[in-house]
Amino acid sequence: MEKIFIGVTDCSKYNKYASWIAQEPGVETIQLGYKQDNFHDIQRCNGILLTGGEDVHPKFYNNLEYLPYCYKDDIDEERDAFELKVLEYTQEHNLPLFGICRGLQIANVFFGGSLIPDIPTFKNTNHSKIEAEDRYHEIITETNTKLRAITGVEKGQVNSAHHQSVERLGDGLIVSAESPEGIIEGIEWARPEGKPLLLLVQWHPERMMDQTSAFTSNIRQCFLDAVKINS
């Protein structure tokens, strides 16, 4: 079987993402990060997985007034800059892209969007962890979207561990899923024809308790299928 290589952006839980996406034979991961100083390794990748982690610095979406609402100890501008460069490469070289949590957020910023810096303050609801454990809540998938086609379901439960979310959508994107309170939980291409897969979700499929859920198993398989086609 021909191997496929997935670039997984570096973070504190890199091993969790890497082991989750590379469960089947023939799938290998490449750790990409500024600390590894290995942007050149992206040339070996057939697809990219953007992982979760720190808040994106609001300077990258021109809202410096949002900085007081960010978790400042969790901001890493070098990571932001590195991953924006990764995103640029994916678009120039037509690589399938899968973003999880922060991965969705940095991708939205790359396409010209902005972020809500703190959901409890700006939206009067909470999607953060509860006593160090993921929160679970319902999401609703939008009709006629790739995400609805992938999952085959209108509603379902996902895990949640974020205090930021999409504010203004990036150019060329549409919402694929929302929480009942209107927090954006998924985004994708508005016009996907002729473009590589863009699959961006706010939850953490790599650590959902039910790994048979369509919101984890189906989206992983969809991404892997797209990467295989691209290899």
User: Which residues are known to be catalytic?
Assistant: 101, 204, 206
Confirm if 113 and 106 have CB atoms less than 8 A apart. no
DSSP at 213: S
CA distances in angstroms from 187 to 56, 91, 114, 171, listed in the order given: 17, 16, 13, 11
Q: Which pairs with CB-CB distance under 8 Å and at least 24 residues apart come from 69-75?
A: 69/117, 69/118, 69/121, 69/122, 70/117, 70/118, 70/164, 71/163
Confirm if 183 and 140 have CB atoms less than 8 A apart. no
Helix (H) or strand (E) holding 24: none
Confirm if 176 and 156 have CB atoms less than 8 A apart. no
